[in-house]
Structure 1
Amino acid sequence: MPTFKELHHAGTPLVLPNAWDLGSGLAFASVGFPAVGTTSFGIAASAGMPDGGRASQRATVALAGQLCRLPVHVTADIEDGYSADAAAVADLVAELAVIGVAGVNLEDSTDGHLVDPAAHAAKLAAVKLSAPGVFVNARVDNFWFGQETTVDAVLRRARAYADAGADGIFVPGVAAAGDIRGIAAGTALPVNVLAHPTLTVAELAQLGVRRVSSGSLPYRCAVDAAVAAANALRDGMPVPKATSYWDMQARLEAFQQGPEA
């Protein structure tokens, strides 16, 4: 299997589904995805909490540990590292590396606001020093939070993060094809975007994108599908088809037994 880093330099972009629990991770692995990420929103929402606020650390570490038992690369969405202290963030990523995590997303915002890029670069440098083998995807949140939403502003941050040792750049929220093309052309690092509402993965590849993440989309679709199934049952409509109870049970039993079974 290619390494996680090599998947960012293949002939086509890496399509990364983001899991919110073990069941979703098992499902993604079962259909052949070579890598699975976590979603901070999905994890927080499943626990009844809004995204952000450094609320998902314990659950994220626990889920990452479970997913690392699967035959896939695992990358963890760790918000801003759950701390403003670079050494604490580096220690967390080193802990994740020990359990087998191949990558992390580290965002340059806290509580919905961009942070000083120098402070974020210091986190990235500390992480690469403590866990050099982990693929660090530096998230640039200008477009996500609507602050300094220009290609030049994003690239200034991206260059600082590249100099600090980042392995990739993640720009959620960027939507215009010209902006995506400009960002991809302006950095040597592989560029990651979220699933686009109108552009296909192939079209994103033509713009220079190397990784497309589902983010919380599968979690939100799952909630919508659950409501649709309940509505159909209530309204006397045909219920939708779904993976059988027995197939899902078998996945969980195989997981509990481990690869040696």
Structure 2
Amino acid sequence: MNKGKIFRDLHASTFVMPNPWDVGTTKLLTSFGFKALATTSAGFAFSRGLPDGAVTFETMIHHCRDVTAATNLPVSADLERGKGDSATSAAETIFAAEAAGLAGCSIEDHTGDPDKPIYDFSHAVERVAAAAEAARALKRDFVFTARAENFLWGKPDIDDTIKRLQAFEKAGADVLYAPGLGDIETVRTVCSAVTRPVNVLARPDFTIADLAQAGVKRISLGSGLTNFAFGMLETAAREILQDGSFGFARAAMPFGKLQALFSKPDA
């Protein structure tokens, strides 16, 4: 099964790609009928009691192996800035991702340095070009996503973001992604400025229909499901401590359903 080709073909129309954060949530989301999954760097970090960005590359790749082994679906990985800062390390990131069984991955132009959070334009483009060249050199199909992180790091500059996405497209990226876009009109502007498929991070005020009409091909949730799960845990804990009741359990997934799901052989 060429999961990379399957994953690429999904971008012909609009689809939702949710983000599990461990093997259990991978199996659960697979059972619902989604067509592809993606890892979440923040969700995985939070599940380990760490802040986003604190997981090492080697640990993240090991996590990716666990996720891909737990599903028959194509999986794309959120690999943050990758193995390092250089263009060479960006290429090495692609090779490591393919070896982990992934159908694709994303690399950001976020540096991880709070004092200078975004790579200089030319360096960011060099990294994307090296990663795209590495993806094309693989023996099987692999979907490489290039991310422009301005809107997540205090620089909501749509002109610079579009400039970067257009340069990333020219450098060979298969999918383009600017997380943090705040409204449908901005999403529409981004989609109309490029010709490659665009991934958008879901927001509570977005709908699949509106995003599809704006030109979006792929919708991901980032750490949204992880945040929701932690939020429900917080709600339950507050009910126990403040009200002395356990009403939250009425909304829980039944034990037997989970037991049956996890008793099935791995995909």
Distance 2:259 2:59 in 1: 22
Answer yes or no: is 1:222 the counterpart of 2:229: yes
Distance 2:181 2:83 in 1: 24
CA deviation vs aligned residue, 1:206-249 (integer Å, no higher than 9, x gap)? 11111111110100110111222334445224223322334323
CA deviation vs aligned residue, 1:21-64 (integer Å, no higher than 9, x gap)? 111111110101111101111111122221125x2423321221
Corresponding residue SS for 1:252? helix
- TM-score, with structure 1 as normaliser: 0.89
What is the correspondence of 1:27-176 to structure 2 with a 5 Å cutoff?
Answer: 27-53=28-54, 55-69=55-69, 70-111=71-112, 112=114, 113-132=117-136, 133-147=141-155, 149-176=156-183
Corresponding residue SS for 2:164? helix
Distance 1:77 1:24 in 2: 16
Task: Give the alignment partner of residue 212 of structure 1, picking from 192, 216, 219.
Answer: 219
Distance 1:205 1:8 in 2: 11
Shift of 1:107: 0.7
User: More helix per residue: 1 or 2?
Assistant: 2
Counterpart of 2:134, as a letter, is S
Label 1:222 to 1:168 Cα distance change in 2 as closer, same or farther (>3 A): same
What is the correspondence of 1:17-32 to structure 2 with a 5 Å cutoff?
Answer: 17-32=18-33
Counterpart of 2:177, as a letter, is F
Answer yes or no: is 1:241 the counterpart of 2:251: yes
**Structure 2, unpaired ranges of 5+:** none
Shift of 1:176: 2.5
Distance 1:9 1:99 in 2: 25
Answer yes or no: is 1:187 the counterpart of 2:187: no
Counterpart contact for 2:236–2:246, Cα < 8 Å:
no
Root-mean-square deviation (CA), in Å?
A: 1.9
Counterpart contact for 2:133–2:172, Cα < 8 Å:
no
Identity, in percent, stands at 31
CA deviation vs aligned residue, 1:136-180 (integer Å, no higher than 9, x gap)? 111111111121x33321111011111111011111111122211
Counterpart contact for 2:74–2:102, Cα < 8 Å:
yes
Corresponding residue SS for 1:105? strand
Distance 1:56 1:40 in 2: 10
Counterpart contact for 1:124–1:136, Cα < 8 Å:
no
Distance 1:246 1:66 in 2: 24
Distance 1:92 1:159 in 2: 22
Counterpart of 1:130, as a letter, is A
Bigger mean CA deviation after superposition, 86-95 or 184-193: 86-95
User: More strand per residue: 1 or 2?
Assistant: 1
Distance 1:244 1:60 in 2: 31
Distance 2:6 2:165 in 1: 23
Distance 1:76 1:237 in 2: 37
Distance 1:59 1:251 in 2: 27
Corresponding residue SS for 2:187? helix
Label 1:62 to 1:253 Cα distance change in 2 as closer, same or farther (>3 A): farther
**Structure 1, unpaired ranges of 5+:** none
Distance 1:91 1:150 in 2: 30
Counterpart of 1:64, as a letter, is C
Counterpart contact for 1:193–1:213, Cα < 8 Å:
yes
Distance 2:78 2:93 in 1: 12
Number of residue equivalences = 253
CA deviation vs aligned residue, 1:107-154 (integer Å, no higher than 9, x gap)? 11112411112222222222222232321111111111121x333211
